[in-house]
A and B are shown apart, each in its own frame.
Chain A
């Protein structure tokens, strides 16, 4: 099958063009990629760092950790993250309340339209964030 491809290769000086059909690409690739080191200190990590800590700089958090209620958010979310209770975060009510109080002072930044269950803060999925998405908390 491979020889078929050669028919469709055009060479325009330094620029090569290859046209491929779906069948051409059906066989798995033989190109090798180097395995990633999960502990690479240079890499950007997701929400949770390899050592288990929370990566406050994760783009997925948007501006939550850096805004005026950043400290309250961090303490509430940390508490939740490390909570060992059966209902995770049930020992963090106070922190979440403080955070909500703070957020209510800035309705423009933290719109209250969603029914946010503080216990479900683990739903901070790595959504496509950062500096181009809207200001809603990532847990939405």
Chain B
């Protein structure tokens, strides 16, 4: 630049002296250009003196040579830098290192300079391979130029480029064998490999073309769905169900509990390089530290992964009873805290080997497992007990009259139900467990299943600087499920603000799907609040089933509207009729119906029991006269209406009129 300026300054007077305004011979060049009166002159600039001419030519020539040398030197430097980069980065020439094309994307100057360099240096041996690859890269970079780059993907590149320039550089080495097992950077990092995480991964991939999503999970399994673990899998005819983990839906179609088979996923090693991005699952690793400011996490093996957007979907860990925890190893060896695939496998085996199993807990999981084991008990001589402090099964969810009715049904499934019982202590005596209850009773059993609640996994709150909710537990997030910039939380671990129903934490499958999907949308820029109300369902035997939505807490005032049920009003009939294998909602979630194919005769649902007529109906849960929760009792495929009613949040004077909307008398 300076050279140009200097040379121009030298040339300027010369230039001026050759303007049409004339030039006087024998006068200094400077004065001429300004002092001269424009007179008509010949425009052809024939210099008067040869020496001036010489100087002129020398100066101009010198300038050209000088700039030529400058450009050449600059090109050489660039070439050297380019070759160095190529050598560093491309060991086997087969790859198309995605991140490296970014070098060219970022600086237009560099891009244009690369082409002439390649052309010039093409034939030379050391650069031959480099040249060939460069052409590939050229193609890639031009492709990239045409592809829509979202902010996320383009901003990921500077980070990886920086890493390239570090002397360690090893991270970006594209020798396939030397690719790091754990990618150092993931644009989308999902902590936890459960339902919420998978739903988010799917949502991100749908909305961000070519997104690279890394799921980090402690578990050894790929993402799977939990409900069949306490329902369908127990009713399978397949003796190998423990291995296959497949179950038959009502439409006869079988499916696996895994959301997708292995071929759906990309390996974590290949994630940064694969052309259209993908979802990778890193199993058996736990995230132990989160640096929210630095946008990175640390795993239990010391590796660090940086991210741009992070989802915390760590779920929860089953709670244990203090009385069992302090009971010693022999007792704890014989206790299952049921949640994962391995718990299902072990309990399935145990249920064939022992004489008696006792389930502690009367909520969803406890009751479902009790019913599942109770059915199995009818084929074997297994004794199944269920102990819980409430007055009846689902005592915290169903109003008392319904909870009592449900308890009777569970008993009919072959379960020895013991309500109003609190465990005081558990001992291991003579090869069996003895459970001592607070009222003095003793229950002797061989194995215990504890289903007493879920503790949300909030260990990352401390390092990540994330807020934990003291009322509901879990990470506190806003309506958009965001905890801090770039960090979202979904699933069981999220205590979120529901615009309609207030702050809550929900531990259901559909909520994990809905919140995971929403978090994925918001991670790709949607900024939508939690709006689509999730639902849940439960089946207790083939003849009692319900779907529910909203806040369903038995401490709230309720209004139940019932009709007499016919044989057609059972979960089994509902799914057979609709032809889907699964009890489904219109466009959102499919829900699986409970129980296996049975040749059991239709139960006594047709004839009303004494005072006991809750065959089918709808129950409204009210808070300040507004409906905040609905249970559809043996009434199916009506969830959209219930969802609408809750969304409206209106006060209705006559709930019978609202109940009419559900047409409970139709099948």
> A residues near B, CB below 8 A?
5, 12, 14-22, 24-25, 27-34, 36, 41-44, 46, 56-61, 63, 65-68, 70-71, 74, 106, 108-109, 126-135
Contact of B201 among A31, A44, A46, A66 (CB under 8 A): A66
A102 to chain B, nearest CB (A): 9
A79 to chain B, nearest CB (A): 15
Which residues from chain B contact A61 at a C-beta distance below 8 Å?
Answer: 206
Contact B660 A31 (CB under 8 A): yes
A99 to chain B, nearest CB (A): 12
Query: B645 interface residue, CB < 8 Å from A?
Result: yes
Complex: A129 Cα to B206 Cα, angstroms:
15
Which residues from chain B contact A21 at a C-beta distance below 8 Å?
Answer: 563, 665
Query: B380 interface residue, CB < 8 Å from A?
Result: no
Contact of A128 among B259, B558, B563, B585 (CB under 8 A): B585
Which residues from chain B contact A33 at a C-beta distance below 8 Å?
Answer: 644-645, 648, 661
Q: Do A63 and B660 form a contact, CB below 8 Å, given A18-B559, A41-B528, A109-B261?
A: no
Which residues from chain A contact B658 at a C-beta distance below 8 Å?
Answer: 29, 31
Contact B195 A131 (CB under 8 A): yes
Contact A25 B209 (CB under 8 A): no
Which residues from chain A contact B582 at a C-beta distance below 8 Å?
Answer: 128, 132-133
Nearest neighbor of A136 in chain B, beta-carbon distance: B253
Query: B513 interface residue, CB < 8 Å from A?
Result: yes
Which residues from chain B contact A70 at a C-beta distance below 8 Å?
Answer: 205-206, 276
Contact of B199 among A22, A25, A131 (CB under 8 A): A131
Complex: A60 Cα to B645 Cα, angstroms:
24
Contact B656 A20 (CB under 8 A): yes
Q: Can you spell out 13 A-B residue pairs with CB atoms less than 8 angstroms apart?
A: A5-B656, A18-B659, A20-B656, A43-B531, A44-B587, A57-B206, A58-B587, A63-B260, A68-B278, A108-B263, A126-B587, A128-B587, A135-B261
Contact A131 B660 (CB under 8 A): no
Contact A130 B563 (CB under 8 A): no
Contact B401 A17 (CB under 8 A): yes
Contact B587 A56 (CB under 8 A): no
Contact of B661 among A29, A46, A109, A126 (CB under 8 A): A29
Complex: A58 Cα to B517 Cα, angstroms:
10
Contact of B263 among A71, A109, A129 (CB under 8 A): A109
Other than the given A57-B517, A133-B581, 7 more pairs (CB < 8 A) read: A25-B659, A29-B658, A42-B531, A59-B517, A128-B590, A130-B589, A131-B513
Contact A19 B589 (CB under 8 A): no
Interface residues of chain B: helix, strand, loop or mixed (majority): mixed
Which residues from chain A contact B253 at a C-beta distance below 8 Å?
Answer: 134
Contact B225 A131 (CB under 8 A): yes
Interface 1/0 per residue, B237-270 and A, CB below 8 Å: 0000000000001000111000111011010000
Complex: A18 Cα to B387 Cα, angstroms:
31
Contact of A14 among B557, B562, B652, B655 (CB under 8 A): B557
Contact B400 A15 (CB under 8 A): yes
Which residues from chain A contact B613 at a C-beta distance below 8 Å?
Answer: 19
Which residues from chain A contact B657 at a C-beta distance below 8 Å?
Answer: 29-31
Complex: A29 Cα to B641 Cα, angstroms:
13
Q: Do A31 and B528 form a contact, CB below 8 Å, given A15-B560, A19-B613, A20-B561?
A: no
Nearest neighbor of B195 in chain A, beta-carbon distance: A131
Contact B206 A15 (CB under 8 A): no
Contact A31 B588 (CB under 8 A): no
Complex: A107 Cα to B586 Cα, angstroms:
29
Interface 1/0 per residue, B520-556 and A, CB below 8 Å: 1100000011011000000000000000000000001
Q: Do A18 and B654 form a contact, CB below 8 Å, given A131-B199, A132-B589?
A: no
Query: B207 interface residue, CB < 8 Å from A?
Result: yes
Complex: A24 Cα to B658 Cα, angstroms:
13
Nearest neighbor of A23 in chain B, beta-carbon distance: B665
Complex: A109 Cα to B665 Cα, angstroms:
41
Contact B590 A133 (CB under 8 A): yes
Q: Do A109 and B264 form a contact, CB below 8 Å, given A25-B660, A29-B661, A70-B276?
A: yes
Complex: A29 Cα to B170 Cα, angstroms:
70
Contact B207 A57 (CB under 8 A): yes
Contact B650 A18 (CB under 8 A): no
Contact of B202 among A18, A32, A63, A128 (CB under 8 A): A63
Query: B121 interface residue, CB < 8 Å from A?
Result: no
Query: B592 interface residue, CB < 8 Å from A?
Result: yes
Q: Do A17 and B560 form a contact, CB below 8 Å, given A28-B660, A60-B587, A132-B592?
A: yes
Complex: A22 Cα to B563 Cα, angstroms:
8
Complex: A78 Cα to B572 Cα, angstroms:
39
Nearest neighbor of A64 in chain B, beta-carbon distance: B206
Query: B399 interface residue, CB < 8 Å from A?
Result: yes
Nearest neighbor of A61 in chain B, beta-carbon distance: B206
Complex: A10 Cα to B508 Cα, angstroms:
32
Query: B663 interface residue, CB < 8 Å from A?
Result: yes
Which residues from chain B contact A68 at a C-beta distance below 8 Å?
Answer: 263-264, 266, 276, 278
Query: B373 interface residue, CB < 8 Å from A?
Result: no
A18 to chain B, nearest CB (A): 5
Query: B384 interface residue, CB < 8 Å from A?
Result: no
Query: B664 interface residue, CB < 8 Å from A?
Result: yes
Contact B654 A44 (CB under 8 A): no
Complex: A32 Cα to B648 Cα, angstroms:
10
Q: Which residues in chain B, 323-366, are within 8 Å of chain A measured between CB atoms? A: none
Contact B521 A57 (CB under 8 A): yes
Which residues from chain A contact B203 at a C-beta distance below 8 Å?
Answer: 57, 66
Complex: A5 Cα to B580 Cα, angstroms:
36
Complex: A65 Cα to B557 Cα, angstroms:
44
Q: Which residues in chain B, 391-405, are within 8 Å of chain A measured between CB atoms? A: 399-401
Complex: A59 Cα to B585 Cα, angstroms:
11
Which residues from chain A contact B559 at a C-beta distance below 8 Å?
Answer: 15-18
Contact A71 B225 (CB under 8 A): no
Q: Do A18 and B560 form a contact, CB below 8 Å, given A31-B657, A63-B260?
A: yes
Complex: A67 Cα to B277 Cα, angstroms:
10
Query: B210 interface residue, CB < 8 Å from A?
Result: yes
Query: B236 interface residue, CB < 8 Å from A?
Result: no
Complex: A134 Cα to B259 Cα, angstroms:
9
Q: Which residues in chain B, 181-222, are within 8 Å of chain A measured between CB atoms? A: 195, 198-199, 201-207, 209-210
Q: Do A66 and B532 form a contact, CB below 8 Å, given A12-B400, A109-B263, A132-B589?
A: no
